Amino acid sequence: MEETIAGPEAVQIPKQRGESLQETAVRYAEERHWDVFPGTWLEAVDGVQHCSCGDAECAAPGAHPAREDWATQATGSATVARRMWQKQPTASILLPTGRTFDALEVPETAGFLALARMERMELTLGPVTLTPDRRMHFFVLPGAAVKIPDLVRKLGWSLSSLDLVALGEGAFVAAPPTRYGSRGAVQWACRPTHANRWLPDVEELLSPLAYACGRDR
């Protein structure tokens, strides 16, 4: 069944399976007001999935921009998003950061440790993704990438010593249910809901994330 939030301002939660990439991309634009753009896709050659970019050694097969001007291609219009995926229905769904959100990227082990601490601290989380290459992305308000270096220093850490990356303007994340070749699909570790429509500021999440990354070294 479709998972929804009850009430007059009901927001449908994007499903991870059973829905086309096109409809999911449209949902992100329409319901979350996220900019989206189609990336590369997977093509079967002799029964083996290869990235449409043609690079046999592609590091993120089927999950990276298909063109250099992807930043100008990204749209928050559901109508335009539907049109773009009509041209290539199997294209990955990519979300530019630095617009409606930034993303804090950490290793999976540190991410789950941080999630447990955040739950005990009763922090309000935004959406969180988990990629097949064992990385997690915590969605926060835009501007995080600029603040991170100074905030990490104030917490007593060296940014170079932590496996923590802030993705802001000029970067992107792959959204569920985008697949990374044969490695699997991007999933929601914390799904978009009506409750987390308003994203946290980086300062609210950084302490438990930095602590978890420090423990994970």
- If one counts every other C-beta atom within 10 angstroms of the C-beta of residue 153, the result is 11
pLDDT reported for residue 17: 53
**DSSP 8-class letter at 50:** E
* Exposure letters 93-105 (e unless 16+ CB within 10 A, then b): bbbbbbbbbbbbb
pLDDT reported for residue 152: 93
pTM of structure: 0.89
Residue 73 has pLDDT above 60, yes or no: yes
pLDDT reported for residue 45: 81
What digits encode the pLDDT tens for the residues 152-188?
999 998 888 899 999 999 999 999 999 999 899 999 9
Q: How far apart are CA 15 and CA 165, in angstroms?
A: 27
Q: How far apart are CA 156 and CA 153, in angstroms?
A: 5
Confidence of residue 9 (pLDDT cuts 50, 70, 90): very low
In this structure, which amino acid lies at residue 211? Y
- Cα 13 vs. chain centroid, distance in angstroms? 15
Confidence of residue 126 (pLDDT cuts 50, 70, 90): very high
pLDDT reported for residue 30: 95
Q: How far apart are CA 30 and CA 36, in angstroms?
A: 10
pLDDT reported for residue 84: 97
